[in-house]
Structure 1
Amino acid sequence: MDPDLDEVLRAALPDDPRELAILWRNRFLQLFDHLPLPIAVCDAAGRILLVNRALGIELGVLPGQLNGRKILELLRPQGNRPLRPVVEAVRLQRRSQYPIEVLWTAADGTECQGELTIEPVSDLPDEGPKLLLWLRVLERSTAAPTARPPERVSPIEARILAAAARGATTAQIAREVGLTAGGVNYHLTSLTRRWRVPNRTALVVRAYITGVLAPGVWPPSPGSADSPSG
């Protein structure tokens, strides 16, 4: 490694091993949350320990509200005893990937079919195994008669929501859209009251669900619903 680069890296990282562990944990969680592929981590019984934003958006639920729920109550396995190989792998502490066909109802009421891949992963020796799961969408039904009509927002509101979805701070959003921090907070508060949601995270989830933000796109950008409010 270049000595100068090595010196810069050493200066940027904390000396305390605990602080270093916290730093890398936070960086991992930030990366995990921004991955476009829907991912979850569960215990051996299938109870959700951690999900990323993409899976929360797919199911129309805030990620934190999924903690503790059974993943296979949300993503319904198909076929005859599809989980038998997974159960056996957990019992024998094998590491391999096990794809199963699942069905679920998306946030807009659309019935979806996909492939859920389950991989048992090792953790600390004195703890039980964990399951890493990722979802691949294969098919969505074309008819969604109960889908909610798109929200109507102003262009500036759409830009603010897109920036918030990227994790930008209020100050960063203000610089990006050309408003003061107070102006950004005004729009966020207005949207929170109008959509009857509790916080900024819920705003972002609803913006994806209703088409204000384009699904499956990174970095986040306004979708087809970013038309002026009436």
Structure 2
Amino acid sequence: MDLTRLDPVVWRNRTMLLFDRIPMPVAVCDVYGSVLLANPAMAAEWGATPGSLRGRDVLELFRPQEATQVERIAQALRLRHRSRYPVSVRWDAADGVRRHGELTADPVSDGPDGTTALLVLVQVLGECPDPAGPPAPPPVSAAEARILELVASGATTARTARETALSVDGVNYHLRRMSTRWGAANRTELVARAYTLGVLKPGVWPPRVTSAE
């Protein structure tokens, strides 16, 4: 079979079929990074169709971790260099997971006179750990911490007053303040909120606060 005599339309159809079946995210962009064509794997990262990504800035979809990498690509394109340019990127995928990977931009053209497009491939390297972690528990004073520990252990107001060298009114004052801050209607709810907010350590008996001012 003489491949050189195949109709250009046949070549185009076969190329598009291969493009669509590539399992990694791939896009063709103009020299400014605007998506011209995206394959289904690229669109799947955003829970979208390939056509809906047309016109999107690829560096807004996949955020570079270092601006200097993008600057090097821009300079190379101005100088008409034709090397492969990797960029470390992160993005928030459609499933809500933040991922990281490597985006590679390959300048391509129909002739030697200049670059007409960029072939962009994204290699998914994994998921990003949550840098923030769980929120810090709200601060409590030393007196509030001790009162909270005693109340959580089932101590009465009178016993809590004796243990903390406060009056009954003093204990109730601190309990009201914490209840107001955390929106608790009663002591049972106050203790539950303290565990939910991370003020009281889970799985510890007798109850202990995480930290106190």
Q: TM-score range by the shorter chain?
A: 0.5 to 0.7
CA displacement at 1:142 relative to structure 2? 6.7
| Aligned-partner Cα distance in 2 for 1:109–1:130 | 31
Equivalent AA in structure 2 for residue 73 of structure 1:
E
Q: Which residue of 1 aligns with 2:103?
A: 116
Equivalent AA in structure 2 for residue 111 of structure 1:
R
- Identity between Structure 1 and Structure 2 (%): 45
1:99/1:115 contact within 8 Å kept: yes
Match runs of 1:126-141 below 5 Å: 128-141=115-128
Q: Which residue of 2 aligns with 1:81?
A: 68
Gaps of 5+ in 2: 131-213
1:50 corresponds to which of 37, 40, 52 = 37
- TM-score (norm. length: structure 2): 0.56
CA displacement at 1:84 relative to structure 2? 1.4
1:190-225: CA deviation from partner (whole Å, max 9, x where unpaired): xxxxxxxxxxxxxxxxxxxxxxxxxxxxxxxxxxxx
Q: Which residue of 1 aligns with 2:53?
A: 66
Equivalent AA in structure 2 for residue 105 of structure 1:
D
1:90 corresponds to which of 77, 82, 86 = 77
Report the structure number with the largest CA radius of gyration. 2
| Aligned-partner Cα distance in 1 for 2:78–2:28 | 18
Aligned residues, how many?
130
| Aligned-partner Cα distance in 2 for 1:114–1:60 | 18
CA displacement at 1:125 relative to structure 2? 5.8
C-alpha spacing 1:140/1:75, structure 2 compared with 1 (3 Å): same
CA displacement at 1:31 relative to structure 2? 0.6
2:80/2:114 contact within 8 Å kept: no
CA displacement at 1:22 relative to structure 2? 0.7
1:59/1:106 contact within 8 Å kept: yes
CA displacement at 1:81 relative to structure 2? 2.4
Equivalent AA in structure 1 for residue 24 of structure 2:
L
| Aligned-partner Cα distance in 1 for 2:72–2:39 | 26
Q: Which residue of 2 aligns with 1:107?
A: 94
Question: Structure 1 stretches (4+) deviating beyond 2 angstroms?
Answer: 122-129
1:26-70: CA deviation from partner (whole Å, max 9, x where unpaired): 110011100112111100000001111111112211101001111
2:12 corresponds to which of 25, 33, 37 = 25
RMSD, matched Cα: 2.3
1:93/1:129 contact within 8 Å kept: no
2:108/2:115 contact within 8 Å kept: no
